[in-house]
Amino acid sequence: MRCALCVEYMKFKYETHCHTSESSACGRISGRELAEYYAANGYAGICVTDHVIGNTAVPRELKWKDKIGGFFAGYETAKTAGERLGLDVFFGFEHSDGGNDFLILGLGREFMLKNSDMGKVGLKEFLRRVRAAGGFIIHAHPFKEQPWIESIRLVPGFTDAVEVVNGAETLYNPESNGRALWYANEYNLIKAGGSDTHAVGYAALTGVAAPRRAKDINDLIAMIREGAEVI
């Protein structure tokens, strides 16, 4: 039986890794449906982390400014629904390089517009820019193995946190989560959890449990830095 304090603590669940059909080509759930899904499952908030490079749903032939405008569609739809549902919806994005994926939190439209070459510069150079701009970097499913992933690459010096529980990997390749936990412990990196939701039932829901409701994305990042529990 859980104590009253534990129940209160667990109320503030946050998703750090999910996708919408408006902005990710692999997404099978709209921003509105995504917000409704998480609200129904007792989450206080979500970070929408669609693909801007690689598996994006935005037409590739568009000019960068127009492409970024279209990229925000999923997040904005989810945010509008979240306001109706009492669900916090924060912006993030998933950066891919050679199949290796990093969740970027704490940055927004201005950063993206300034970095139109983000799909061309090297991974470390891009992560340097994220750090310089004040962004927070979570290495998503670092030990995931798929045909499109060129190789497993670990960059602890350019990573703030490791996704030690990925909900999709929990269902399809659970041993990779154990390896991610080893990585975080070995390099003393912050631990995070993310479902990697693309559709209802695609992943086992996870995330982080915060001790209070986040005021904004930076407050959520601060709580993750302080050791918010991975759920």
Spell out the domains of the chain, with CATH numbers in brackets: 4-226 (3.20.20.140)
Q: Is 164 helix (H, G, I), strand (E, B) or coil?
A: strand
Cα torsion angle, 35, 49, 104, 167, sign: positive
Q: Which residues contact 47 (CB under 8 A, 6 or more apart)?
A: 14, 15, 16, 17, 18, 90, 91, 92, 103, 105, 217, 220
In DSSP terms, 191 is beta-bridged to 162
Cα 124–Cα 56–Cα 58 angle in degrees, nearest 5: 125
Contact between residue 75 and residue 31 where contact means Cβ atoms under 8 Å apart:
yes
pLDDT tens-place values along the chain, 231 residues long: 344 434 444 579 999 999 999 999 999 999 999 999 999 999 999 999 999 988 999 998 999 999 999 999 999 999 999 999 999 999 999 999 999 999 999 999 999 999 999 989 999 999 999 999 999 999 999 999 999 999 999 999 999 999 999 999 999 999 999 999 999 999 999 999 999 999 999 999 999 999 999 999 999 999 999 999 999
For 57, 70, 212, the CA distances from 22, given in Å and listed in that order, are 7, 9, 30
pTM: predicted TM-score of the whole model, two decimal places: 0.94
